[in-house]
Amino acid sequence: MKKIFVGLLCGLLMMGCSTEKTVKTTVCSMEQNGLSVESTFEHDGVKITKQTGKNHLVYAEAGVTKEMLEANVAVTSELFQGLKGVTYEYTLGDDEFNETTVIDYTVADLKELQDANIIVLSDAKVDYIGIKETLEMNKEMDCVEK
């Protein structure tokens, strides 16, 4: 029993001392009423380093019009503009809307993102976005680690 414990302890120490972090990718998606959402999280098993969100909306299926979205998209675009580590692109087509938001957490300022209401931090001392907590908050989506 003692040998097993010492072996496990050595294994944990070796894993903890490893300088090479494996990048994992978890993709969460859902479709509902003409809206397709896909969120891709790059992480090390604990901390998210990059998040890419892609949304696709078919106006007729979602019960909205292009005009209804125009004002909201303009506000969102303005909000994201100038935030460190954030890129936002969108297209308003005649029948559908597409947007892509990328947040590089290795560059972004978490306080700035919280002040802009883009993220919610449970504690002011938090210095990273956790994959476990993020997936817990997105239970309604289907998530798969790739």
- What are the tens digits of pLDDT across the range 95-143? 999 999 999 999 999 999 999 989 888 776 888 999 999 999 888 899 9
Give me the number of domains the chain comprises.
1
The two tokens of residue 117 are 């209401």
Instruction: Report residue 119: phi and psi, to 5°.
Output: -130, 160
Domain that holds residue 108: 24-145
Residue 43 resides in a domain? yes
Residue 112 lies in a domain: yes
CB 59 within 8 A of CB 66: yes
Residue 13 has pLDDT above 50, yes or no: no
Residue 7: inside a domain: no
**1 domain residue, yes or no:** no
**Any domain includes 19:** no
Written as six digits, the tokens of 75 are 């506000």
Inside any domain, residue 72? yes
What backbone torsions phi and psi does residue 71 show, to the nearest 5 degrees?
-65, -45
Contact between 130 and 109 under an 8 Å Cβ cutoff? The reply is: no
The answer to whether position 8 is within a domain reads: no
pLDDT tens, position by position, 79-92: 999 899 999 999 99
CA distance 44 to 89: 26
pTM of the model: 0.81
- Identify the CATH number of the domain in which residue 122 sits: 3.30.1830.10
Name residue, tokens 């903890």. 16
Residue 2, pLDDT score: 39
3-state secondary structure of 7: helix
Residue 39 inside a domain? The answer is yes
